[in-house]
Amino acid sequence: MSGNDSLQPDRGVLRILDIMKGVRELRTLDAILDRLLLEARRLVRADAGTIFLVEGDSLVFSYVHNDSLFSADDVTRYVYRDARLPIDASSLAGHAARHARPVVIDDAHALPPDGDLRFNASFDARAGYRTRAVATLPLIGLRGRVVAVLQLINPLTDAGATRRFAPDDLAVLELLADQATAAIEAGLVTEEFILRMARMAEMRDAGETGAHVRRVGAYAAEISHALSAREGLPTREIKRRKDMIRLAAMLHDVGKVGITDEILGKPGPLSPDEFEAMKRHTLLGARLFSNPASEIDAAALEVALHHHQRFDGTGYPGRVADPFADTVSGNPPLAGNDIPLAARITALADVYDALVSRRVYKEPFPEEAALAVLTRESGRHFDPRVVEAFFAIHDVILAIRQRYREQADTGTG
């Protein structure tokens, strides 16, 4: 982009139509936010950006890009930053949400201390970044309610220098904002539907909390991303797989709705007969997706059925010819790469979260002890490649744990 380095509105309309076509192919809220933020940045060549979602009277930090600090294609802990802002004048995003109108400034650090706008420079100070030009746009839904806030930072010239946001930039960004809101609302509906299904299991099993399924979904998604990147897959395929496994992993234990309260709530070890009955939750979960209408349904079936398989073939339910069978006993073993990859990834994510979480029958493992279990079980319970990918992004795993803490630990859920 030469001249004013901005995208002309008429070209922007065609670009936005193409962007939204791609966004509509996505299913998870995280994938939608990631793509929208990436495309918004590309429209104006912004170096960085953030999307905040509105929850009650707060803005929740929901997705971030910053090309000066990390690539948008990387696995990064910054995506799971645990932060909230009040919807008030104490921040640019809060101001935009409160007044439902854009806020555009040329230099965040030059705002007058006695003015109406406030810029929180704490992230800049911690990361060694320099925020200058900022465009903050509220995303307003059909009911006139602010659903999210899109904030873009430091648009660049062809030479890579920071510039101001031009009027044409704002015109195309507002066009994108109008379209993006519907996609975000669709993602919120999908996520809420998944969480409601998980809550059905939670009503029967206190270990299946909303925070647990969010963590397992996020662990699995990021492990998948790291593993796919190591194998050199194209970025689009990496993110497609990541989109599917996040939802599938969140539904891994939905079959527990068919297990009795006496078994699910038992504080001590299960008897052999009780454990045999518990194993059936894999079959019950698979039955819910027995007529898959999409790739995500197919992935959810594989994960629900196979997330208790072990890499060495000693897990359950083994090779299943009919998920409507009454028992898992007697099936031939399933081992190694014959276990679907999504299930191998979810198996590690689920076991890790169980180890570090409090349950009615145990206290949480210290982190070091949990990591020792994963190391010891590499090649036995877990695919060694999945274990390696987990350890490669351990800082991201810890950020996910912090972001999705249990309600009793945070007071927020």
All domains of the chain, ordered by start, with CATH? 9-187 (3.30.450.40), 205-410 (1.10.3210.10)
Give the HSE-up count for residue 119: Cα atoms under 13 Å, Cβ half-sphere.
Answer: 24
CA distances from 161 to 67, 107, 121, 130, 317 (A): 13, 14, 21, 13, 58
β-sheet bridge partners, residue 49: 65, 152
CA distances from 65 to 42, 54, 72, 188 (A): 12, 19, 6, 20
Query: What is the structure's pLDDT at 120?
Result: 81
**Choice between 156 and 64, residue whose per-residue pLDDT is larger:** 156
Query: 116-153 pLDDT, tens per residue?
Result: 898 988 878 887 889 999 999 999 987 889 999 999 99
Q: Which of 338, 336, 350, 320 is nearest to 380 (CA)?
A: 336
In the sheet that holds 84-86, the strands lie side by side as: 84-86, 58-66, 46-55, 146-155, 134-140, 103-105
Asked if residue 69 has pLDDT above 80, the reply is: no
Please name the residue that has the structure tokens 């590499």: 378
Asked which of 67-76, 158-167, 371-380, 392-401 is least confident by mean pLDDT, the reply is: 67-76
Asked if residue 64 has pLDDT above 80, the reply is: yes
Q: Which of 349, 348, 241 is nearest to 295 (CA)?
A: 241
Give the HSE-up count for residue 317: Cα atoms under 13 Å, Cβ half-sphere.
Answer: 26
- Catalytically active residues are 256
CA dist 288 and 322 (Å) reads 13
**Choice between 11 and 353, residue whose per-residue pLDDT is larger:** 353
The pLDDT confidence band at residue 192, using thresholds 50, 70 and 90, is confident
**Choice between 279 and 77, residue whose per-residue pLDDT is larger:** 279
- DSSP string for residues in 339-373: S-HHHHHHHHHHHHHHHHS-BTTBPPPPHHHHHHH
Query: What is the structure's pLDDT at 327?
Result: 82
Give the rounded distance of the alpha carbon of 101 from its chain centre: 28
Tokens for 93? Answer: 């995003």
Please compute the mean of the pLDDT values over residues 389-411 and round it to a whole number. Answer: 82
Tokens for 360? Answer: 């009615």
Q: What do you get for the CA distance between the two ends of the chain, in Å? A: 45
| Helix, strand, or coil (residue 152) | strand
- DSSP string for residues in 52-103: EEEETTEEEEEEEEETTTB-TTS--GGGG---EEESSTTSHHHHHHHHTS-E
CA dist 393 and 396 (Å) reads 5
CA dist 298 and 321 (Å) reads 16
The pLDDT confidence band at residue 236, using thresholds 50, 70 and 90, is confident
CA dist 356 and 367 (Å) reads 7
Count the helices and strands in the chain (H runs, E runs).
Answer: 16, 6
Asked if residue 408 has pLDDT above 50, the reply is: no
Please compute the mean of the pLDDT values over residues 163-182 and round it to a whole number. Answer: 92
Instruction: Indicate the pTM of the whole model.
Output: 0.85
Residues in the chain: 413
